[in-house]
Amino acid sequence: MNYEGLPCPVCGRHMHEDDDIVVCPDCGTPQHRECWMENGECVNSEKHAEGFVWSSGEKPVFTERKPDIPADASRICLNCGSENPADVSVCGRCGAPLAGSEIRLNTDDDGNSRCPYCGMPVEPGDRLCKNCGAPLVLMPRSSFASYAADSGFEEQEIIGGNTAGELSAYVRRNVKRYLPLFKKFENGRKISFNFAAFFFGPLWYFFRKMYKFGIIFIIVLAAASPVFATMSNKMIDVMEPYQQAMNDRTLSNEDAIKMMEELVTATRKDFAIGSGLMLACNLIFAFLADRLYYKKIRDDFEFLKTEAIEPNLQRAMIIRRGGTSLLSALCGFFTFRIASYIIVVIANYAAMNL
């Protein structure tokens, strides 16, 4: 019978044509000869009394062989140097996997390396146990040094409970401005002015992935759209008597001056109201931007460090959540235009029916 590709019920490795395979004379279970010799009997010997007969569809049950670990043994974390119990897989201080060949791998009486979690043999060069998936080599804590290089801070310097390296990896763009500003916030500074948020408004919030605040501010701006729509309608009403002359290019200088005077008179109030609203909104956006951004960062870090204990996973999530997104800013722009259009249509419809 061909056993090619079937898992050995002892070690879990797939059997190949060149492997030395032993078939139990009592139940027909195939297994590596070395596995048979190590056990001294068939892996299914306990089932022989029940008349067990192996078949290719039999689900293998791998034999769990745990190494003998002294009760008072301990394992040293290669990432932070702290001491941990022998039976744990991650460091209780920094969350790094307790790795390293001299710590991870155990050997049996024959000198073969074994996984310290399930006891299965491991081959030289294996990074993960083929049976239980446990890491067998050091997974060092990733560094944020490359991100912190331009911030003006040391990577491990603490700002608000997080390192400058972590904050730099999250912010990425313009860290020279933001990290010193965050330090000032921690030292008591209350407000700051963000020129990008002043000129771009909600689009800056979308660019920095602050979607909740971006949507709120888009709604605020869109609510002011009827003021500008009213001003636009008044301009059309003023220009209508002069439209034919403008189309024929026969509009005299006197009529042009008169039309401009009428436009200014008709739209002065709406222009003042609209401009005042826009200025007030932009000032609010600018003064709130940095504080809200720092709050978002702290909230995200609190969540990430609670959900992701393993340092490399934390790093990946920090980089993914942080940074900027031009696509989000473009989406915010189109969202603003659509929201403004809908509000203007509703306002015009309400004005016509009142």
| 311 and 254 share one domain | yes
| 175 and 29 share one domain | no
Whole-number pLDDT of residue 108:
61
41 contacts 158 by C-beta, under 8 angstroms: no
Whole-number pLDDT of residue 103:
38
Whole-number pLDDT of residue 102:
38
Whole-number pLDDT of residue 286:
94
Whole-number pLDDT of residue 78:
57
Whole-number pLDDT of residue 70:
53
pTM for the structure as a whole: 0.54
Domain that residue 25 falls in: 1-63
Q: How far apart are CA 96 and CA 90, in angstroms?
A: 5
| 80 and 185 share one domain | no
Tokens encoding 249: 């290019």
3 contacts 21 by C-beta, under 8 angstroms: yes
35 contacts 43 by C-beta, under 8 angstroms: yes
| 227 and 284 share one domain | yes
| 199 and 338 share one domain | yes
pLDDT lower than 50: segments of the chain? 59-69, 71, 99-104, 139-141
| 264 and 333 share one domain | yes
| 223 and 294 share one domain | yes
| 340 and 213 share one domain | yes
Whole-number pLDDT of residue 117:
62
| 233 and 252 share one domain | yes
Question: What are the residue ranges of helices labelled H in 208-252?
Answer: 211-223, 225-239, 243-248
| 313 and 282 share one domain | yes
CATH code, domain with 2: 3.30.40
| 312 and 176 share one domain | no
